[in-house]
Structure 1
Amino acid sequence: MSSPTDRPSGQLHLLFVRHGETQDNIDKILQGLRDTSLTEKGLREGEILAKKLQNQRIDAVYHSPLNRIVQTIRPILADRSDIPVHADADLTGQSLGQLEGGSYDTIDMSNPRSADGQPGVELFDDFVRRLKKVLAVIVGTESRQVGEQDRTVLIATHGVGITSIFKALEASPSCEGFNPKLAVRGPEAYEVRWTDSDDVAKLVVPRPRDLPVKDGSLDWSALSGQPFVIERWGKREKAL
């Protein structure tokens, strides 16, 4: 009798998008968990993103519940009323406590741990662990639904979240200590501080049925090798 891994299997594609422009982006204000809305330009950026994805099959959507994210993905979902959509608070950006509403100059934007220790701030390490936890649930759930065809999932979150999880998977210096290197980078993937609103970053699991899943969640401790491929990330001209 053949095992599940013996049967032909498609790949799991994870598409990551961030929100469009907000007034806080313009004013260089730290948003964190502030529930801001898109500007007129930001709403147009959502339409541009939807047009970019109009011919892309999407099987499920997971998103941060903050309004700027909801507004951004609304055009993407307009003609996809039949797919499951999941709001998850673990996909919000890093909580910045009393720094929220303050200037970018309050912290060193190049150092992900520079806000640690400030009142109410979620420690950066705790933030990355939260991202890994929600990604484990998404990958654990969706990998078991991959059949002979590829399955594509859209994850709408915040720029700092996309950058942090990709760097963690790569075990880059700013995100070391969370796991061994679990991802390789393709030729169209460029490390960036944050993605633009029209970017669609892409993480691929070539052999999803081989992933260790326990209680519906990816078991990070049982992973070996580099099961993830960062196929697309940022723009060459904005690479670090």
Structure 2
Amino acid sequence: MIQIYLTRHGQTQSNVERLMQGWADTPLTALGLEQGKLLGKKLRSIPFSKIYCSPSKRAQMTASFINAYQHTDIIATNGLKEMNFGDLELKAEPEGSTWQQLLLYDWTKIGGNNIDMVSKQMKQMMDRIVQHAQDNTNILCVTHCFSILSLLYAIDVNFFEQCLKNDDKVENCRLTILQYDAGQYSITSFNE
């Protein structure tokens, strides 16, 4: 069995300003820096064999806070990138839109991508990670809100639909834990 700990990066300036931030990047806020440091302390007793992160600076910075207690390799990979919002990158969120609408919208119409594309990307990344991981190890992935939700969509659509219905958005520096055993993923914890 392999345990995969997924977390969203700390709060960024774009989160505060409600800007569409996918492939674009803005720095962590003071709160985001503190969130990353607190998460590092929270996870310090869990040995991670590998830490993977999105290539975004916000994810890499958050991963570095966690790795301060781990001292392992941090592997930046495009497989953990956030959804791309095309022409709306770093623009204000559309007035009156919900996060659910933004997640499910087809951003390919304006040069971005969509949940099916991110879901496939994230599932392929998880499959590569578990393929190279030893049994009974812990893996950490520092990624993004819509990336985590897209992965849940790929592995348990009923759980994903409950998240949408219950307004359970992935919060900054919260943990979602998956188990991989006998070729199957299961969700053991969400937004903890």
TM-score w.r.t. structure 1 length? 0.71
Spell out structure 1 runs of 4+ moving beyond 4 A.
none
Aligned equivalent of 2:144:
158
Contact 1:62/1:88 (<8 A) preserved: yes
Is 2:124 the counterpart of 1:133? yes
Q: 1:116 to 1:174 in 2, by over 3 A?
A: farther
Shift of 1:63: 0.6
Q: Give the alignment partner of residue 44 of structure 1, picking from 34, 46, 63.
A: 34
CA distance in 2, matches of 1:173, 1:60: 27
Q: 1:87 to 1:197 in 2, by over 3 A?
A: same
Shift of 1:115: 3.9
- Choose 27-36 or 107-116, whichever is displaced more: 107-116
Structure 1, unpaired ranges of 5+: 1-10, 176-190, 212-226, 236-240
Is 2:16 the counterpart of 1:26? yes
Q: Give the alignment partner of residue 116 of structure 1, picking from 95, 103, 107.
A: 107
Contact 1:108/1:114 (<8 A) preserved: no
CA distance in 1, matches of 2:48, 2:167: 25
Contact 2:79/2:125 (<8 A) preserved: yes
* Larger-gyration structure (1/2): 1
Count of aligned pairs: 187
Contact 2:5/2:141 (<8 A) preserved: yes
Q: 1:104 to 1:172 in 2, by over 3 A?
A: farther
CA distance in 2, matches of 1:115, 1:165: 17
Identity of aligned residues (%): 24
Contact 2:19/2:91 (<8 A) preserved: yes
Which runs of structure 2 are paired with 1:61-210 in the superposition (5 Å)? 61-81=51-71, 83-105=72-94, 108-111=98-101, 112-142=103-133, 145-146=134-135, 150-172=136-158, 193-207=168-182
* Structure with greater proportional helix content: 2
